[in-house]
Structure 1
Amino acid sequence: MTKQGPMSTGKHFSDAGLALIEHAVRDISFGSLTLVVQDSKVIQIEKLEKIRICEHQPKASGKTAVKAADGAALRTRILQSVSGMEYGKVAIQIQSGQIIQVERTEKYRVGKFTGLHGEGI
């Protein structure tokens, strides 16, 4: 029996987990956010923020790069990206406060291969 964590994928993906991801995306001007999936659950968020010295300006309060109206589209895209994944990562690339790329890397766990080193051939 597997415990369902607060960041599990599919219909068990919590609103709090999605809100946390949405907040992290809004907080980054340049960088990336990586969601780590294990046993079909998002177990970790890795946030990498780059600070461009020549372009760095303080963020205005109340003004975010990802508008609230875009929140539903962002949530839908995140759910699509992690849907059906058992193990892997979803990386969200952000430039100038805009999401420019979502990359999904899925890993498969396999058992012992027969014939890999000549046995069974």
Structure 2
Amino acid sequence: MEKVVQKKNLLPQVLELIRHSLHTIQYGYLILTVQDGYVIKMERTEKFIFSSKNKTGYIKGDIPTGQHSFQAKIIAQLQGLMYGQLIIRIEDGKVAQIEKTEKRRINEYEGTHGDGI
């Protein structure tokens, strides 16, 4: 098994769920919500598209145990993200898009009369 480089606040359970989802979802989304630099929630939306293209079935029994090829890229995108979301779109079992939405907390600004924004 390959060694996974991880951020200190990325829990092993989170890594396991990301890896499992990347190996099993054929069509859908993974949405990772980050607060205070920690992944606090993962939403998994999976679609099943019935077509003659899928000849292997939809249930995977032999899920690979190693790291997914995009796992390191996803971890890299989570580095430094304090508040926001990482949305991973999966099509035909492959990562098609990674979208990062970063939110910033601004506490320092005040109006001209000290009344805030």
Same fold (TM over 0.5): yes
Q: How has the CA–CA distance of structure 1 residues 16 and 102 changed in structure 2, closer, same or farther, with 3 Å as cutoff?
A: same
Pair 1:82 & 2:81 matched: no
Q: Given that residues 22 and 74 in structure 1 are in contact (C-alpha distance below 8 angstroms), is that contact kept between their aligned partners in structure 2? A: no
TM-superposed deviation, 1:15: 3.0
Alignment partner, residue 6 of structure 1: none
User: For 1:52, what is the secondary structure of its paired residue?
Assistant: coil
Q: How has the CA–CA distance of structure 1 residues 24 and 60 changed in structure 2, closer, same or farther, with 3 Å as cutoff?
A: closer
- The structure where helix makes up a greater share of residues is 1
Alignment partner, residue 103 of structure 1: 99
Pair 1:37 & 2:31 matched: no
Q: Given that residues 33 and 91 in structure 1 are in contact (C-alpha distance below 8 angstroms), is that contact kept between their aligned partners in structure 2? A: yes
TM-superposed deviation, 1:100: 1.0
Q: Distance in 1 between matches of 2:100 and 2:46?
A: 19
User: Which 4+ stretches in 1 moved above 6 angstroms?
Assistant: none
TM-superposed deviation, 1:103: 1.0
TM-score for both structures, normalised by structure 1: 0.72
Q: Distance in 2 between matches of 1:49 and 1:87?
A: 25
TM-superposed deviation, 1:17: 2.0
Which stretches in structure 2 are left out of the alignment for 5+ residues? 1-5
Query: 1:38 is aligned with what amino acid?
Result: Q
Question: Aligned pairs, how many?
Answer: 107
TM-superposed deviation, 1:101: 1.1
Alignment partner, residue 46 of structure 1: 43
Q: Distance in 2 between matches of 1:83 and 1:14?
A: 13
Alignment partner, residue 91 of structure 1: 87
Q: Between the two proteins, what is the percent identity of the paired residues?
A: 31
TM-superposed deviation, 1:77: 1.1
Query: 2:85 is aligned with what amino acid?
Result: K
Q: Distance in 2 between matches of 1:61 and 1:113?
A: 52
Alignment partner, residue 5 of structure 1: none
